[in-house]
Amino acid sequence: MTEGAERFLAAAGFDRAPWLAVLFMSGILAWFALPEVWQWLAAIGAGCGLALAAALVWPAGSAAADARVHLRLALITGGLVFAAGVAVIWARSEIVGTPPIAAPRVEQMQGLVLEREDQLAEGRIRLTLAVRLAEEGRRGEARKVRVNVPLAALSGPLSEPALAEGAVVRLRARLMPPASPMLPGAYNFARAAWFKGLAATGSAIGPVELVTPAPSGGTIASIQRALAAHVRSRVEGSAGAVAAALASGDRGGISQADEVAMRDSGLTHLLSISGLHVSAVIAAAYFAVLRLLALWPALALRARLPVVAAAGGALTGIAYTLLTGAEVPTVRSCAAAMLVLLALVLGRDALSLRMVAVAAGFVLLLWPESAVGPSFQMSFSAVLAIIALSTSAPVRAFLAARDEPWWARAARRVVMLFVTGIVIELALMPIVLFHFHRAGIYGAFANLAAIPLVTFVAMPLIALGLLFDLAGAGAPFWWAVRQSLDLVLAIAHLTANQPGAVKLMPQISGTVIALFAAGGLWLALWSGRIRLFGLVPLLLASLFTLSTPVPDLLVTGDGRQVGITQTASDGTRRLISLRDSRSSYGRNNLLELAGVAAAPIPMVDWPGARCSSAFCTLTVRREGRDWIVLMARSRDRVEERGLATACALSDIVIADRFLPRSCRPRWLKADRRLLARSGGLSITLADGRIESVAEREGSHGWWRALGRAALPLRLPSGHQ
């Protein structure tokens, strides 16, 4: 077996190098997936132990080591790199992690504006402030909080540029600790806030007082906002909001309807400054500089124009990255583009798996927490899919130069563009389903039309509009920008409104997404027929995904929202909600994690449910057994003896308040006491499985800081 592995690694050559980045990321993901400290130590020990074992079994300089040189090096390097990944993210969490405030409260505070984000579509701005909270006293360290301020407060002295980065404001705000996931598999804002250094979020109450205006002189952030405002003034309507996002990265003006349409049509990536936009800007600058300098014979004969053009493209890319906010995805894309330019200068292959691995390693070393984010996973998966497809033998044969008419050659390119879109959609679908529990079915068709419109029409026109605005002659270009982006939005709405355009999926397990990742990486990173073995885990993961069980009960961490999946009279699966929530965020979480597209039905309107002012009772039949669920719908006082009797007749009791000890259901009592420690619950009645937020979060800082892990959590397993 070791001989076969040695021959395989020896023949793989440079194909081995990208796996170092994969192993480093695997160590980071292992730290997030493992809940307890002893498991993190065990993971580091396992990596180091593997390296030590390989060094001891095949000592350096021995005949055995010479016979297994590639296998020995792979095991030693791989084990150490994996252990380094666990250690790096653990150290990063301890260094930058910021504990949240202990509890919600209203506080009068004065703080320095660190960041201003305009959210015009929602009628507010978002300020990130450095403040000293009252509970810590004047000598306490400054904490970072994020506060939403209504636009009505931005009149007179509070308008731009007075209220910008560097200003000092005084305001009264309602503050909350960053929210933990509502349910297992839901978005983990507490984790994101931990690494961003946010101690609290909230909203302003009453007027905002400007203590000290922002320093004079244009900062990058103020230039970004001015650019976005200028673009919106030149292009009206929804197209103007999208144009501002493309020019400056400011997405605050995009309406919710357009956001939803772009998401459901698979075009959301066009709204965020990503590798597509950065690459387009750098490529345009590179070729523009190259062509312009070629018109100067004296320079063309004395200088290497590709080097000069690469420098021009690099400077343009860095400027665009800074102007659009220098977010982690943009910096990542810029770094990858710099490597492409370096490869062009050195005369090497500009688009290779090694280049992608170096870019990924660079990002993971600086921002290891980005490994669990969908942005990192989706962007690198898309690039890997493109490179793997373009370097495959069938594609190279299909695109090989041949004696044929121009229209046939163009047709091949169009077919290849469509195939590439389908491959990217297939590569991204598991990631999208895992993070967002939904995927656009017709995304490949929408991208086939929208990507060329944005990349080769809208973005160049925006650049020309800004350039000609210096002479007051940009109006024709802005008209064309509006037409092109209106067409993109029309494509998005048309695609999203098609029947079956969106597929909802309950939370797929970590094992399934690991199989998808292993199969996809094996298929992409190796060459030759050996890569086809990656289809095996992909097929298994697909089968497991299709058989993902739908949870029967979903209970949010505060106990106020309960969703129960039932089959309606027409045979469709519907979600029955305990309360008719006004929060679209909470409602969407319940629907997505239940895999139900139709709007939820209030419990009081569901046939078979019995509701009083204080409680609702519903019988749920699963696998030939009736489960009686008792749910509190208000905090009205209930006579204890009657409550105890109702609990004794129920299998499951759910309440957002403390219930007396006399309330003893037959299987599960999920009251405020338990939910405070467990967080949200996902319950499958057929096998009696209960998943909680707590078991996923464990001893990680953002969960431990809330006191959630103070007591052991015991949940029933199996049903009687």
3-state secondary structure 270-315: HCCCCHHHHHHHHHHHHHHHHHHHHCCHHHHHHCCHHHHHHHHHHH
Q: Is 584 found in the same domain as 516? A: no
Instruction: Single out the residue of 614, 619, 670, 621 nearest to residue 642, CA to CA.
Output: 614
Q: What is the predicted pLDDT for the residue at 53? A: 92
Q: Is 633 found in the same domain as 576? A: yes
Q: Is 177 found in the same domain as 82? A: no
At 107, list the tokens. 């506080």
Q: What is the largest CA-CA distance in the chain?
A: 98
Residue 539 lies in a domain: yes
Q: Is 135 found in the same domain as 50? A: no
Q: What is the predicted pLDDT for the residue at 447? A: 80
- Cis ω on the peptide bond leading into residue 405 (within 30° of 0)? no
d(C-alpha 551, C-alpha 687), whole Å: 11
Among 96, 131, 155, identify where a domain stops: 96
Contacts of 107 (CB under 8 A, 6+ apart): 133, 134, 172, 173, 175
Residue 427 lies in a domain: no
Residue 692 lies in a domain: yes
3-state DSSP assignment of residue 165 = coil
Q: Is 138 found in the same domain as 82? A: no
**What residue numbers bound the domain in which 569 lies?**
553-704
Q: What is the predicted pLDDT for the residue at 248? A: 80
Helix axis angle, 2-12 to 69-96, nearest 10°: 80
Q: Considering its fold, how many domains does the chain have in total?
A: 4
d(C-alpha 485, C-alpha 480), whole Å: 9
9 to 54, 82, 247, 388, 697: CA distances (angstroms): 15, 19, 46, 19, 37
Q: Is 612 found in the same domain as 655? A: yes
Q: What is the predicted pLDDT for the residue at 711? A: 45
Among 217, 250, 272, identify where a domain stops: 217
Q: What is the predicted pLDDT for the residue at 720? A: 45
Residue 236 lies in a domain: no
Residue in the block written with tokens 């993190």: 40
Q: What is the pTM of this model?
A: 0.87
Q: Is 45 found in the same domain as 19? A: yes
Q: Is 571 found in the same domain as 539? A: no
Q: What is the predicted pLDDT for the residue at 275? A: 59
d(C-alpha 148, C-alpha 116), whole Å: 10
What CATH number is attached to the domain comprising 190?
A: 2.40.50
Instruction: Single out the residue of 330, 294, 334 nearest to residue 317, CA to CA.
Output: 334
Residue 613 lies in a domain: yes
Please list the ranges in the chain whose pLDDT falls under 50. Answer: 709-711, 720
Among 192, 217, 242, identify where a domain stops: 217
Task: Please count the CA atoms within 13 angstroms of the CA of 685 that sit on its side-chain side.
Answer: 21
Residue 484 lies in a domain: no
Determine how many CB atoms are found less than 10 A away from the CB of residue 293: 15
Q: Is 558 found in the same domain as 541? A: no
**Strands, E assignment, 533-614:** 553-555, 562-567, 573-577, 601-602, 610-611
Torsion 294-298-303-309 (CA) sign? negative
Q: Is 557 found in the same domain as 542? A: no
Q: What is the predicted pLDDT for the residue at 441? A: 76
What φ, ψ does residue 206 adopt, rounded to 5°? 80, -165
Residue 498 lies in a domain: no
Residue 391 lies in a domain: no
Q: Is 666 found in the same domain as 563? A: yes
Residue pair 270/245 in contact (Cβ under 8 Å)? The answer is no
Q: Is 633 found in the same domain as 618? A: yes
Residue pair 564/601 in contact (Cβ under 8 Å)? The answer is no
